[in-house]
Amino acid sequence: MGKKIKIILSICLLLAVLVGCAGSKKIQGTWWIQDINNKTGQLKLSKNKLTINVDNIDKSYAFKQNAVGIKNGVTYYGITLDHQSFSIIFPEKNKNKAIFMQVDSTDNYLKGKMIFAMNKTKKPSYRNYVVRYLNQ
C-alpha cells in the first residue's frame, strides 16, 4: 500500500473515532420520558450532554456514544454514562419512540433494565412500552 493511502486511511480512522464519541443526530433532541414509577419529564440529548428534568429538577451528565447497530431489525445506540453502559433502542421504524435501557452487558445492547420510555411527540407510557416491546 502506498504511503499516501496509509496516511488517508489513518486520518479517516482518527476522524471516525472522534466522531464516534459524540451522540448521533438520531438520538439528539428533546424527548418526553416516563419511568417505572409513572413520573414523567423530559430528557435532552446533545452531542455529549444528557439532561434529565423530572419534577422540575434538572440533572446533567456527560456521555459518550460507543456503539451503534441493528439486531433483529431493531436499531440501538450504546452510550457510556457515569462509567455505566446504557442503550437507546428504537423498537420500531417510527423514530419518535425509543427505550432508554441500562444494559446487562455491552455484548447485547438490547438486554437489560428499562429506565425510561421515550417519545419525541407525546408523553409515553412506561407500562405500555414494557408490554409492547419487552414482553415482561
- Dist. CA 34–CA 53, nearest whole Å: 11
- Dist. CA 29–CA 4, nearest whole Å: 39
Query: Which of 96, 79, 89 minimizes the C-alpha distance to 114?
Result: 89
CATH number at residue 108: 2.40.128
Per-residue pLDDT of the chain (136 residues; tens, 9 = 90+): 555 554 444 443 333 433 445 567 789 999 999 999 999 999 999 989 999 999 889 999 999 999 999 998 999 999 999 899 999 999 998 899 999 999 999 999 999 999 999 999 999 999 999 999 987 5
Residue 51, domain member (yes or no): yes
pLDDT at 94: 85
**46 lies in which domain range?**
23-134
Residue 60, domain member (yes or no): yes
Judged by DSSP in three states, 6 sits in helix
Q: How many separate domains does the chain show?
A: 1
Residue 57, domain member (yes or no): yes
Residue 93, domain member (yes or no): yes
Residue 70, domain member (yes or no): yes
Residue 4, domain member (yes or no): no
Residue 75, domain member (yes or no): yes
Residue 69, domain member (yes or no): yes
